[in-house]
Amino acid sequence: MVALISPRVAHNFAKNGYYPTDDATTNAIISHFVRTDNTAIRVLDPCVGEARAASNIAYSLSHKAKLYGIEYNRHRAELAQKYCDVLLRSDLFDTVISPNSFGLLFLNPPYGDLTSEHNGAIKNYQKDYKRLEKIFYRFTIPSLQYNGILVLIIPFTQLDEMLSNWIANQFTDISIFTACDKQFKQIVIFGRKVRQNDISLQEKNDVKAKFKAIFEGEIVPDEIAVTNKPMYQIPELESEIKSFYKLSFTDEELGQEVKKIGGLWNDFNLFFKKCCERKRKPLCKMSDWHLSLALAAGEINGIVKSNTGKTYIIKGDTYKSKSKNVENTLDDNGFIIESKTILTDKFVPSIKAWDFTPNSETFGSLFLISNRDNEADELCENDGCLENNQYNLVITGEIYFTQGVKSLTDSDFNMALAVSKALSRYEKGDWGNDMDDSDKKLNDRVLRQGQKNDRLFASYKLSDDKKLWIITEWFDYKQVFMTTLMLPNEY
Whether 348 and 443 share a structural domain:
no
pLDDT bracket for residue 434 (50, 70, 90): confident
In a domain, 233, yes or no: yes
In a domain, 67, yes or no: yes
Residue that is last in its domain, among 336, 352, 380: 380
In a domain, 392, yes or no: no
In a domain, 19, yes or no: yes
Whether 112 and 152 share a structural domain:
yes
pLDDT tens digit string along 335-359?
777 778 888 888 777 778 888 888 8
Residue 9 or 47, more confident: 47
* Average model confidence (pLDDT) across the chain: 81
In a domain, 267, yes or no: no
In this prediction, residue 328 carries a pLDDT of 78
What are the φ and ψ backbone dihedral angles of 68, each rounded to 5 degrees? -110, 130
Whether 238 and 130 share a structural domain:
yes
pTM recorded for the entire structure: 0.52
Query: How many domains does the chain divide into?
Result: 3
**Which CATH number is 91's domain given?**
3.40.50.150
In a domain, 276, yes or no: no
Residue span of the structural domain in which 375 resides: 283-380
The residue-averaged pLDDT of 439-447 equals 82
Whether 34 and 129 share a structural domain:
yes
Question: Cβ(336)–Cβ(328) under 8 Å?
Answer: yes
In this prediction, residue 273 carries a pLDDT of 65
Whether 206 and 111 share a structural domain:
yes
Whether 331 and 462 share a structural domain:
no
Cα–Cα distance measured from residue 470 to residue 399, given in angstroms and rounded to the nearest whole number = 10
In this prediction, residue 275 carries a pLDDT of 62
In a domain, 388, yes or no: no
What residues contact residue 208 under an 8 Å CB cut-off, 6+ apart?
A: 161, 164, 165, 168
Cα–Cα distance measured from residue 50 to residue 52, given in angstroms and rounded to the nearest whole number = 6
* Chain center to CA of 54: 24
